[in-house]
Chains A and B, each alone.
Chain A
Amino acid sequence: MEENAPLDTGMTNAPEDARPAGEWLEGYWRKTIPWAFRTAWMCWVFAGFSALISLTGYQSMMGSEGGLTMLGMIFSVLLIYSPVFALGYFIHGFGRQLQTALTMSDQGALENAFTHLYRTMLAGTLVAFFWVLLMLNHTYITLNFYSNF
């Protein structure tokens, strides 16, 4: 006599029913890793260099301003460039996790890599929004200045 099959036969959840990424996709990811590391380093150098330039601009005020004001200035500079630093951190995390996922065939690391990429995009939104605001302000001042000629 034929046995009854369980009712949940054939009903599977991820990852069993998920599609394999495939060699092409894994190949693209592999090529992306070195550029993720380069971009991360570039972000850190960019943030560090820009913060240093801004801080040297305040150097002339060092003697005249109080300690608390100077501390506030340093803090504000660090606050301005911290999203760029975070951008670098998340891109580096994306590259590192992607490398682990591909070398160890680690599904969890792959999902973590894309979580880092998502955070990169969130930090990128903050940076882009801030830069657009700054540029809008600059354009407004420039146009105002030349309209008086």
Chain B
Amino acid sequence: MENKDEIPDETSQGHSELNAEGQPALLLSDVLMDRARQIGRAGKIVMILFLTLCGLYTVNLLIDFWEWQTTRSGDFYLLEGNNAYQVWRFCSTAIMVYLFVRGAWAGFQAMRNIYTGSRYDDDDALLNGFEGIKPMLKWFTIWGAFWLLSDLLEKIYLWNSLN
């Protein structure tokens, strides 16, 4: 007799042989699970390297800021000297580091979950892992767009100030 209190498996909910569109359902085959394990393992290394990169970038940013603060003399006026450009540079770099950390952290969590899910057949972890790929890509795309925009603006500003 079927146990009515049994909680349905989230990954197989509403599925038997066909999916909602009446097509054969996609399967979490052994090949796919092996691949997920490899992705999780390599992905964790990438994200740790990216987070290390962010740490190093922050150290450099703080050194630059400290150097600017100690060498700058007199009262601070935003529109005087090179102050506006320096403030813009620090702010844009800080935003870029923040966006990259968001992407790397989302990626690290996704990769950790994908690895755990595929290694120990944990469906919840696998679902969370695959769900986490989108935010990772989203934050990295936003970071890339911001980087391109700020770099382009900086180039235009430097070009105008030199000519």
Contact = CB atoms under 8 A, between A and B. Distances in A.
A107 to B, nearest CB: 6
B26 A24 contact: no
Contacts of A117: 35, 39, 133
Interface residues of A, number: 52
Contacts, number: 162
Contacts of A142: 60, 63-64
B154 to A, nearest CB: 11
B45 interface: yes
Interface string B15-31: 11001110111111111
Contacts of A138: 56, 60
The interface residues of chain B, by DSSP majority, are classed as helix
B85 interface: no
A20 B32 contact: no
**Residues of B in contact with A, size category:** 35 or more
Interface stretch (B46-54, B76-84, B88-96): B46-54
Interface string B123-161: 000110011011001101100110110010001000000
Contacts of A128: 46, 49-50, 53
Interface stretch (A1-9, A39-47, A59-67, A69-77): A39-47
Contacts of A139: 56, 59-60
Interface of A: 14-15, 18-26, 28-29, 31-32, 35-36, 38-39, 42-43, 45-46, 49, 53, 91, 101-102, 104-105, 107, 110-111, 114-115, 117-118, 121-122, 124-125, 128-129, 131-132, 135-136, 138-139, 142-143, 146
Given A20-B26, A45-B148, 20 more contacts: A15-B27, A19-B12, A21-B25, A22-B11, A22-B15, A23-B15, A24-B13, A25-B126, A35-B141, A46-B144, A53-B155, A110-B26, A114-B36, A121-B38, A128-B49, A131-B53, A132-B49, A139-B59, A139-B60, A143-B63
